[in-house]
Chain A
Amino acid sequence: MLFNLTRLTGWLLALFSLPAHALTIFACQPDWASLAKVHAPEAEVFSATTAFQDPHFIQARPSLINKMRQADLVICSGAELEVGWLPELQRQSRNAKVSPGGEGLFFTTDYVAVLDKHDHVDRSMGDVHAGGNPHVQFAVADMINISQALSDKLQQLDPKRAAQYLQAGEAFRQRWAAKMLIWKNRALSLKGKKVVGYHATYRYLFAWLGMTQVADLEPKPGVSPTTAHLTQLAKLDPSNIYAIVYASHQNSQAAKWLAERTLLPTIVLPQSVGGNEQSHDLIALIDNSINLLLASSR
């Protein structure tokens, strides 16, 4: 009996004691995994998706449920980007920490000046998010804010390593701020350029660089390109347009079709960290995206 009691106490202690290991972090996109690694170098970080997957269409599969079960912190874009799978993962993983209202749930869009918010959303408008455009891995100026909030969150969840998180966050923000100056300068020639896009994936990057997406290969957000719509786009005056831009996870057919007819160059940008060989982290992602945009001189 005594033996059993000691054993039971041991079990209970093991159950309730604070984890000695670093945090386990589940990121919905590789960009947030990359950000997490920089901010919490000792943490175990997992990305649920890759740059080659459309983040709207992810399966709430067993492996992800199990990863979320183990997570101390879940970092997602929010603004309904993951609405088709994240709620199911939260329900099935039974991890209250990272469920709605839990302290381990972090949405980056909460710390971004979100663009294109809508007061009224109807599905006839296509896949429009009332909360605004959720593709904030390219919200260059807001990354400072996201970093600050993430750093605070990490300190709150794992106070023992607070100093480490504080330092890592500050170092990142310094690097990022320095990079922002370099990027802005390097991309000066892109200012005022008009592009044809595919979905509003690069809304934030274009806005920051002073570029405009004047047309979309998608007839409506989330609706795949149709021949009728592309035929309309083919009538655009190409002399006004810089390029056709699409992302690493998107089908190239529509862009190629339009490029053939308009003789516009096409640019494939990484959707996320890992979208091409160069984009190995968040800084490299922006770096490389700007380089690719610049490379398309005509």
Chain B
Amino acid sequence: MKVKWLINAVVMGCSGSVFANTGPIISGPDVSVVLDGFYQDGQRAFSNRDEGFGLGHTELGLTGSVDDKFRGVLTGIFESHHGSTEIELEEAFIETLALPAGLKIKAGRFLSEFGYLNSKHTHEDAFTERPGVYRALLGSHYFDDGIQVSALLPTEFYLAVSAEAFSGKKMDAGFDDPATVGVVAGKIETGSDIGDSNSWMLGLSVLRNGNGHMQFGEHAHDHSEHEHEHEHGGHDHSSHDHGEHNHGPAYTGRMLYGADLTWKWAPQGNYKYQNLRFTAEYLYLDDLYDERFSSLDGAPSSLSGFYGAFVYQFNPNWSVSSRYSQFDHMSNHDVHGHGDHAHGHFLDEQLKEIDFAIAWHSSHFGVVRAQVSQQDYLDKRDNIVSLQYIMTFGAHGAHAF
């Protein structure tokens, strides 16, 4: 609890001059740290995790109540990337605690509710990386600056809805004059139990990206060149020249749809000794580009992908997990605008991944994982072995279903 003590000291130091000797001190914010380190002997497509030793999502989080009406969350991420340490603010939001009628408003920077995995922190995942379709269409997890209104409806069964508006800059396909509110998203979610042992949840999501489709115009040329490089990064097996390096998605379109299903089982609902979790998601990206591009050879009208994952914890200290995922997309070949028409063509591509992982849980707070992934991509089969630890200390927030 040294960190907590330190924070308390800082808080006291700051407030000392104003509220000197006012009796008991309000407890400091909850401080949580997630350490994520890995070694892997290859790199996955559309991924930011380098080959070799590296640090994944190392998180430093602060949470606390502002007052009886608001709660604040701040999460910073440290990640190694090509020998340097990147610092990113993943979450910095406030949320209401006491709105009537089951309403909640969140504002600031936060993870979008889109899909099942997206709103979760990566340290909760059962695999070293998110499935290919998530990496390619959401940049592994989409967080942005914006506002969210959500409600739990007063129905007999669980029914939750949320609506979000974001700046959308991370998902900007390269517009000269992007819309101020680039992304709006919505989600509807329901779920229930079947007896004591089974629980399920089903969600439908939609995300409209106003700046998402490939635009035809003056600068369309430059832009598609750029895209081009990106996609070909995979060809010579180095997404390394990640260009300007953003963590945004590799593919964008105007509309992204998602469906997710999660099912969990534990004997008599006792999750301590044994449990089985299954999640499947389907993502569909539509309205990819300007009309003039869609008439080109091989231009698909949409992209889609899915994954299905099982996690079986067979005793309190060990779990095994397996996942199959697929992402059907296209690569650009010399696609660019020229005068009033477009050149080039597209080729269909498919990314297939099979992952198998075994994890040792030293306790509720520590995991050491070994994972083998087989990736079929661009006529090449890669086997990637990863070793990873994820350990947390300090406060540890409760996890969502």
Point out residues on A near B: beta carbons under 8 Å: 15, 49-50, 52-54, 56-63, 65-66, 69, 83-88, 92-96, 99-101, 120-123, 126-127, 222-224, 249, 251
Contacts and interface: CB of A to CB of B under 8 A. Distances in A.
Interface of B: 1, 65, 68, 97-104, 151-152, 154-158, 160, 189-193, 196, 199, 201, 264, 268-273, 315-317, 363-365, 393, 397-401
A224 B191 CA distance: 31
**Majority secondary structure, B binding face:** loop
A88 B399 contact: yes
Nearest to B190: A62
Given A69-B102, A94-B102, A96-B98, A52 B271 contact: no
A47 to B, nearest CB: 11
B72 to A, nearest CB: 13
B201 A61 contact: yes
Nearest to B316: A224
A16 to B, nearest CB: 9
Contact of A59 (B268, B393, B401): B401
Contacts of A58: 269, 271
B401 A61 contact: yes
Contacts of A92: 152, 160, 400
A79 to B, nearest CB: 16
- 7 A-B pairs closest in CB distance: A62-B191, A62-B158, A88-B398, A54-B272, A66-B158, A96-B98, A52-B268
Contacts, number: 111
A100 B65 contact: yes
Contacts of A49: 269
Contacts of A222: 363-364
A50 B270 CA distance: 9
A50 B393 contact: no
Given A66-B152, A96-B98, A123-B393, A223 B269 contact: no
B126 to A, nearest CB: 15
A127 B366 CA distance: 13
Contact of B97 (A62, A83, A96, A126): A96
A52 B270 contact: yes
**Which of B103, B152, B397 has the largest count of A CB atoms less than 10 A from its CB?**
B152
A124 B103 CA distance: 40
A262 to B, nearest CB: 23
Given A94-B151, A96-B97, 9 more contacts: A53-B268, A53-B269, A59-B264, A59-B271, A60-B398, A62-B201, A84-B399, A94-B104, A222-B363
Given A50-B269, A66-B158, A94 B316 contact: no
B98 A52 contact: no
Nearest to A126: B363
A85 B160 CA distance: 18
A57 B316 CA distance: 11
11 contacts: A54-B270, A59-B271, A60-B398, A60-B399, A61-B191, A61-B401, A84-B399, A88-B398, A88-B399, A94-B152, A249-B270
